[in-house]
Amino acid sequence: MLVKSLKLFKLLPCRSYNNILLYDNFCTAAYKEERIKVGNCNINYVKVGNGVHNVLCMPGALGSIWTDFKPQVEGFNRDQFTLIAWDPPGYGKSRPPEKKFPTNFYENDADSANEFMKNLGIAKYSLLGWSDGGISSMILAAKYPEAVQKLVVWGTNSFILPHELAVYKKIRDINSWSKRMKEAMVSVYGEELFAKYWSQWVDCMVALYQTCDGDICSNMLKDIKCPTFILYGEKDPLVDKVHVSHLHTRITGSRIQLYPQGKHNIHIAYAEDFNKIVQDFLMQA
């Protein structure tokens, strides 16, 4: 039932492409992309604003600056915030080298993000983490509490449920994707690398489920000490609502915001409202 393009559009875990232009077409001179060395990778990033509150945007699976955080790069208050959006190692334009997907790649991304911000000379910052980026953000906040000021996550999880894994397996083959969605990812990676990345990502989820009983980072949630904001679209077809209560009860002092009609990409579908309430949270003493 998942092979029909309409249903597949609702299930794909990365993002909705209704609000996204093809990757190379959007990257204009209005936003200067820069590069900085982190480990063995030249990280591609955009930095906007002059505010004292630094915010790092963490993309979802196979995500990049413009596929995942265009409304935030454009919409955040630049007097109050300095917003940094990056292509994580191996994603977007932060290549070569290619991305690897061992079962600890979320933690690797968290470590790389912390090193990235250090290399930028930013010792304290908040995190906006969507989907996969939310997982790495939670790990980063748990491992480096001295660096993370506040944490905002949405469409994310700390473990994998059986029916979620079944969805991933059904859409492993990119030829089952709709033409429009496939082209959006091919514009970033090319067809061959996109197919390789996506199958490896799905295989990693299977390995996590088999070797770790689906657990990704649940044991680390207790170590998150910063103020945390958990947002969730109640019609998210990819992240079960049980994850919201799980995160909320295990991250001390966390708060929740629900979007009753929202799906997986609430920061895009409800960009204006999302940006407002997230900025309000970040500015609270």
Q: Which residues are catalytic?
A: 131, 236, 264
CA atoms within 13 A on the CB side of 216: 26
Cα-based distances in Å from 125 to 175, 255, 273, 276, 278: 40, 19, 22, 18, 14
Burial class (CB in 10 A: 0-12, 13-18, 19+), 222: exposed
Number of neighbours of residue 28 by Cβ within 10 angstroms: 7
